[in-house]
């Protein structure tokens, strides 16, 4: 068994320009690495028949057949680098500067994958025989539409009665220093578009038309004024934000026939997407009726809120992180959504990875010290889990 160095593997993975939905060879490369460690690798390619989405490659790899099955979940896809001229290095030609590895995906989240693979290799050298299984669930569709990635792999595993007993999601969770934060849940996310239909007319004769903008403004005000909740001990207050208001009208002397607004709600476990849809529908319907307008609402549910109750494995991970980093991590549900929202349907999970302050930014980077310490953390979790 050859030595797998986390820094070397992170560099190799970053070299693949796997901008969602392009795989660029990253999944196949990782599968070869895992096969050399003895993993049974299945490359799962999914395509949604009803939507304009490109096929996505994913891996489910497992070593062993017994339980418990400890799974590591992550993604090889990255966000676009943006203006290449703004980078001090070529984003897909990783370079070390000031004890930091720079490149797109260094932080989110190819380096975390490299750390776990390295930890597994070290674990297997120490423990050739252990009771249980280690698995990887790696997708190429986390940064994109998330239609043909982890969601479908989870469905695939459920159909085959494949059991995962605990999952570590390697997303970058720490705001400033490695060891600060473990994610044990996430807020839900629902997006929507409200269209109000009035009647077009001349601005000089407003009584002969019905301006939909007036009604839309009242709806927006009502939705923003009404606080959804005050939060609870595990979650911050839910929040609705309007992200755009559009009126397709270039003429200054014409009252438009329609107007629409786009919004997103990040919600805690005091709500479901269904209860929020009802609440919004009710407000829009009442104000539209009062102002004699028609309306149309389109919703898209990105994920429900969820919380993993801290258990023996989560507290074990917390103690290991504290021991290695000298920082006591807090349990948190902050931030955006992650693929944990799909995995929690089949397994309890925690999220722990690198420092996230450069993710999606120009010159995305990770400290070399953090790479070594994250590998140590993952190795210690493997050793304690299979004790």
Give catalytic residues, as residue numbers: 77, 142
Q: DSSP per residue over 240-289, as a string?
A: EEEEEEE-----TTEE-SEEEEEEEEEE-TT--HHHHHHHHHHHHHHHHH
Cis ω before 21 (30° cut-off from 0): yes
Query: CA–CA separation, 55 vs 141, rounded Å?
Result: 10
Residue with tokens 């997103």: 264
CA-based radius of gyration for the chain = 24
- Residue 214 CA to residue 211 CA, distance in Å, equals 6
Question: Phi and psi (nearest 5°) for 99?
Answer: 60, 25
User: Whole-angstrom Cα distance, residue 204 to residue 351?
Assistant: 59
**What is the rounded distance in angstroms from the CA atom of residue 383 to the CA atom of residue 1?**
19
What token pair was written down for 141?
């569709």
What is the side-by-side order of every strand in the sheet holding 95-97? Answer: 95-97, 100-102, 365-367
Tell how strand 95-97 and strand 100-102 pair up. antiparallel
Token pair 């997303």: residue: 171
Question: How deeply is 204 buried, as exposed, middle or buried, from its count of CB atoms within 10 A (0-12, 13-18, 19+)?
Answer: exposed
Strand order across the beta sheet in which 181-183 lies: 40-46, 56-63, 133-139, 69-75, 166-169, 349-351, 181-183, 330-332
Of 54, 32, 35, 34, nearest to 45 by C-alpha is 54
DSSP strand pairing (239-246 vs 258-267): antiparallel
- Only one residue has tokens 């479901």, namely 272
Q: How far is it, in rounded angstroms, from Cα 338 to Cα 302?
A: 10
First to last CA, the chain: 22
| 324 contacts 377 by C-beta, under 8 angstroms | yes
């Amino acid at each position: 068994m050859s030595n797998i160095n986390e820094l070397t593997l992170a560099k190799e993975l970053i070299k693949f320009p796997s901008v969602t939905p392009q795989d660029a060879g990253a999944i196949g490369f990782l599968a070869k690495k895992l096969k050399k460690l003895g993993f049974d690798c299945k490359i799962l390619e999914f395509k949604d028949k009803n939507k304009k989405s490109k096929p996505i490659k994913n891996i489910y790899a497992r070593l062993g057949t017994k339980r418990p099955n400890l799974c590591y979940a992550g993604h090889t896809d990255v966000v676009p680098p943006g203006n290449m001229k703004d980078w001090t290095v070529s984003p897909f030609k990783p370079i070390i500067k000031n004890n930091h590895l720079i490149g797109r995906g260094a932080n989110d989240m190819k380096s975390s994958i490299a750390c776990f693979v390295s930890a597994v290799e070290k674990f297997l050298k120490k423990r050739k025989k252990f009771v249980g299984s280690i698995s990887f669930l790696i997708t190429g569709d986390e940064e994109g539409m998330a239609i043909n990635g982890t969601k479908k792999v989870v469905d695939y595993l459920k159909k085959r009665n494949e059991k995962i007993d605990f999952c570590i999601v390697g997303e970058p969770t720490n705001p400033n220093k490695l060891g600060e934060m473990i994610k044990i849940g996430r807020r839900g996310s629902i997006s929507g578009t409200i269209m109000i239909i009035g009647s077009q007319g001349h601005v000089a004769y407003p009584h002969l038309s019905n301006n939909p903008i007036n009604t839309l403004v009242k709806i927006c005000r009502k939705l923003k004024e009404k606080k959804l909740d005050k939060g609870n001990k595990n979650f911050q207050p839910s929040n609705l934000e309007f992200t755009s208001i559009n009126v397709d009208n270039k003429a200054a002397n014409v009252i438009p026939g329609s107007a629409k607004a786009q919004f997103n709600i990040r919600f805690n476990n005091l709500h479901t997407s269904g209860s929020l849809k009802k609440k919004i529908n009710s407000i829009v319907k009442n104000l539209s009726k009062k102002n004699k307008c028609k309306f149309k609402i389109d919703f898209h549910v990105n994920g429900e809120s969820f919380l993993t109750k801290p258990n023996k494995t989560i507290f074990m991970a917390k103690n290991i992180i504290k021991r290695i980093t000298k920082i006591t991590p807090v349990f948190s549900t902050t931030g955006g959504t992650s693929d944990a929202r799909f995995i929690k349907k089949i397994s309890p999970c925690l999220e722990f990875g690198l420092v996230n302050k450069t993710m999606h930014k120009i010159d995305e980077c990770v400290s070399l010290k953090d790479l070594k310490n994250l590998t140590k953390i993952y190795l210690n979790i493997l050793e304690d889990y299979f004790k």
